[in-house]
Amino acid sequence: MAADARSQRITEELAANAPDLLAYFERRVARDDAADLLAEVMLTVWRRADQLPGDPVRARMWLFVTARNVLANAERSERRRWRLANRLRMMLPGSSGAPAASDPGEGAEVRDAIAHLAPELAELVRLVHWDGLTLAEAAEVMEIPASTARGRYQRAKQELREALAADYASR
């Protein structure tokens, strides 16, 4: 593929998936951090451009895998501020403060129950119910077999039912 065509395709994939990737980060970290993590995903994609799958669906999943890895790496290293994200950071409401996921209000007790699951179960639930991925897609993003994802998902749902039932019973 010619360099110009390749650049155009990468740009189009990034632009098409950027809203969902931004939402992915907004559901997990503070909004100003979400802007920088999105910028980091974009920079990472250009660095690993030769790995971008040709199929748009596979490319979208690969972008989510990249986002997940960027988030994991950010949790154990310095949080970086990218100039690329300066404008976006200012456009996001409530850019400073707590992560959106910790906001009080509707669903707070459910989010709390999710947070108390084992990390691999919690992320599976978030990918399916917050990010709108199918279970098969979530398995791909988490780089686990679909059968493993199904088992984990059933376990997560059972633990959530029990936790939420106990939560409501205690009121």
Partner 1 sequence: MNEFDPTDDLLARSAPRTTTVTPELREELTRMAVASESEQRRTGTRRRVAIGAGALAVALFAGAGAAAATGVAGWGPWAQDADAVYVYALPGGDACELRITFDDAATGQVAREILSDVDLGSVIDVDGVIAVLRAMPSSGGDEFGNTFDTGFGTEFYPSVDEEYAQAVGIAASQYLGERLTERGVAGGGQDMTWASNCATEFDGGR
Residues near partner 1, by CB under 8 A: 7, 10-12, 14-15, 18-19, 22-23, 26-27, 31, 38-39, 42-43, 45-47, 73, 76-78, 81-85, 87-88, 91-93, 99-101, 103, 106-108, 110-111, 114, 125, 129-130, 135, 157, 160-161, 164
> C-alpha angle with apex 141: 139 to 146, nearest 5 degrees?
15
Integer Cα distance of 65 and 83 in angstroms: 23
- How near is the Cβ of 63 to partner 1 at its closest, in Å? 11
- How near is the Cβ of 54 to partner 1 at its closest, in Å? 18
Of 106, 113, 102, the residue nearest 31 (C-alpha): 102
- How near is the Cβ of 96 to partner 1 at its closest, in Å? 14
Nearer to partner 1 (CB atom), residue 61 or residue 88: 88
- How near is the Cβ of 97 to partner 1 at its closest, in Å? 13
Q: What is 100-145 written as a DSSP string? A: GGG--STTHHHHHHHHTS-HHHHHHHHHHHTS---HHHHHHHHT--
